[in-house]
Amino acid sequence: MHAKGRKLGWISGAAAFLAVVSVVHGCGSDSSSGEQPPATGGSGGDASSGDVSQDGLGGTGGGDAKIEVNPKCSLNGTSCVGSADCCSANCDAQTKMCTNPPGVCLQPGEACTAGPECCSIICAGGVCGSGVCISDNQPCTDAASCCSGKCGTGSTCTPLNPECKTVGNECAANAECCSKFCLNGHCSGQPSFCTQVGEACITDFECCTGICTKQGTDNIGLCTQPTAPGATGCLAAGIVCGGGAVSDAGGIPACGGDCCSRSCAPYGPTGVLVCQPPSGCRPTGEICKSDSDCCGSPGMPGGNGSVTCSKTPGEPVGRCDNGNACRAAGAVCKLATSSCNAENNCCAGNVNQDPTVCQQDLLGIPRCTGAGNCADAGSYEGKECASSADCCGLACVPNKSAVDGGAPFICGSTTCVPAGGDCTTDADCCPGLPCVAPPGSTHGICGAILEDGGVPDANVPDGPLPEGQVPDAAVPDTGPTCALYGQTCTAASDCCNNVPCTQGRCLYPIY
C-alpha cells in the first residue's frame, strides 16, 4: 500500500482491512511483532511468511524498504497547506505539517521522526529500524531502541505510561496493554479504528478522544480524555468495550455496555469489541468538534437547541452535553419493548404513550425520532434527519447544502452509500467500506479518501473530485470481503466476525 511514487490514502489502514476477514497484522505477522491503526484497521503480511515486521502507531504498512525522496510531494516534517501536498497524503490540521496518517506504519529504511511511526517502533537517526523494540524496564543503550522512546536512569527503558504497557511491549494478557489488546505476545495498538486512551500517539488525529497529550518537548505523547466540564463519563466511539473481549469469545455486553452510543460490537479487522459510532448527530457523551456535531444543538431537528459541545478552552475537541428538558431527535432512548436503562422522554413524545418516538437506527441503537410509523413512511429521501432512525431504512448523511443554510443531515437515496460518498458511521456505507472521519467529526467518507485530495491509489487524481463522481480506486484493488457491523447483508456469511444477519443488517439483536 506504500509503494514508491504513490500517495497513501487518509487512514489507508481503514480500507486496507477489506482484504482481511479475521485478526490481522498491520505490516506482516510473526510471533515477535509489536503492533499498532486508524479510523481504521490494518492488513499486510501472510501469517505463514515468517515476516518479522510489525505495526507502529500506523497499522498497515508496505513499501520497498528504502527512503523515498519524491520531488513532487513533501516529506513528513515539512510544512503543507493540504494533504495533497504530502507524500503521506496527510497534512496535520493543527500543525500544518506533513505527518504519517494513523493506520499506516513505516517499513525499515523509511524516513521517520518518531518511533511509533515505524512498524518496528524504532526510529534511529531519522530512519525506521528493524527488529523488535525493547520493552519497558529492560536494559537499553539508546532511547530509539525502546518501545517507549526513552532510555532512562540505570540504562533501562522508561515506561511511557506507568499504568499500562504501550504499543510494542511484551505482554501475556490483554489487560496488561493500554490498548487492551495483546497480540502474539506484544501489545498491539490497533484493536480499533483509532488509538486508545493511555496509548502512545504522535498527533491528536489518531486518538479516539481526539487529544494527544505530550510532556515538554517530547514528540511522543499519550491519548487522553477531553476535560470537558459537565460531560458524562461513558466510553466514546472507537474505545474498546466489554473488557477488550473478542466478539466470539466473551459475547456482547447487554444494552451496549458503557458505550455512549449504547452499541458495543466487533471492529471488522480484529473482532475486538469497540464502541460503535452512532449514525447522524452525536448523542450525549460522544466526542465532538463543534455544537453542530451534537444531537439537540441549535439548528438540529426535534429538539430545543440546548445541547452544546462542552469544551475546555484550548482543547481541539469536547463532549456533547445533556442539554435540558426533553431528549432531542438523535438522543439515545429506551425502546418501549426494551428493559435497557435509558430515558423515555423524547421531545417528540413519551415512549410509554407513543412507542414510535423511539426507534432503532441502522446500528440497532434506539434513538429519539419524529419519523412516525415507518410502514407508512413512503420515501424519506432528502428529508431532514438527526439519525438514520429518522430515515426508515435509509442512511442519514451530511448535507452538502448545510453551509447554505440547509439541514445539517438529510436522508440519503439508497440503503448504503458507495465508495467516496458522505457518511457518519460504517453502517451508512456499502458492505466492506469503512466510514473514515476525524475524531469528533460527523462528516466522514466511505472508503479511504481525503477530502482535500489525499488518495489511496495513484490512479485517482489529486484534488477534490467533481460533485457526484465516485473514484474507481477508493478502496484497495482486492475489494471488500465482508460486511462491517451495521452494514447490509443477505446471510450471516456476509458479515465479518460471525455477526448474525439480523433483518438485513449485520447486527446482534441486543435490544
Question: How confident is residue 507, by pLDDT bands cut at 50, 70 and 90?
Answer: very high
- Look at residues 269, 291, 267, 294 and name the one whose alpha carbon lies nearest to residue 280: 294
Mean pLDDT of 155-174: 95
Residue whose C-alpha cell is 536512569: 153
Which residue did the predictor score with more confidence, 292 or 39? Answer: 292
Mean pLDDT of 324-341: 86
Over 80: is that where the pLDDT of 168 sits?
A: yes
SS3 assignment, position 225: coil
Give the start-end residues of each E strand in 13-145. 123-124, 127-128
Rounded CA separation 213/367 (Å): 33
Position 91 scores a pLDDT of 73
Position 144 scores a pLDDT of 92
302: Cα separation from own chain's centroid: 28
Mean pLDDT of 391-397: 91
SS3 assignment, position 319: strand
Contacts of 179 (CB under 8 A, 6+ apart): 36, 167, 187, 188, 189, 190, 191, 195, 196, 199, 240
pTM attached to this predicted model: 0.76
Kindly state the DSSP code that residue 91 receives in the 8-state scheme.
B
SS3 assignment, position 401: coil
Mean pLDDT of 3-9: 25
For residue 375, what are the CA distances in angstroms to 372, 378, 380, 391? 9, 8, 12, 12
At 363, the amino acid letter reads: L
Total length of the chain: 511
Over 50: is that where the pLDDT of 254 sits?
A: yes
Position 85 scores a pLDDT of 72
Question: How confident is residue 238, by pLDDT bands cut at 50, 70 and 90?
Answer: very high
Contact 39, 437 (CB under 8 A): yes
What's the sign of the alpha-carbon dihedral 344, 347, 350, 354? negative
Rounded CA separation 98/10 (Å): 12
Position 159 scores a pLDDT of 96
Rounded CA separation 446/437 (Å): 9
Position 82 scores a pLDDT of 78
Lowest mean pLDDT of 3-7, 141-145, 333-337, 439-443, name the range.
3-7
Give the start-end residues of each E strand in 198-262. 200-201, 212-213, 221-223
Lowest mean pLDDT of 77-81, 115-119, 121-125, 143-147, name the range.
77-81
Question: How confident is residue 74, by pLDDT bands cut at 50, 70 and 90?
Answer: low
Residue 260's H or E segment, with its range, is none
Position 496 scores a pLDDT of 92
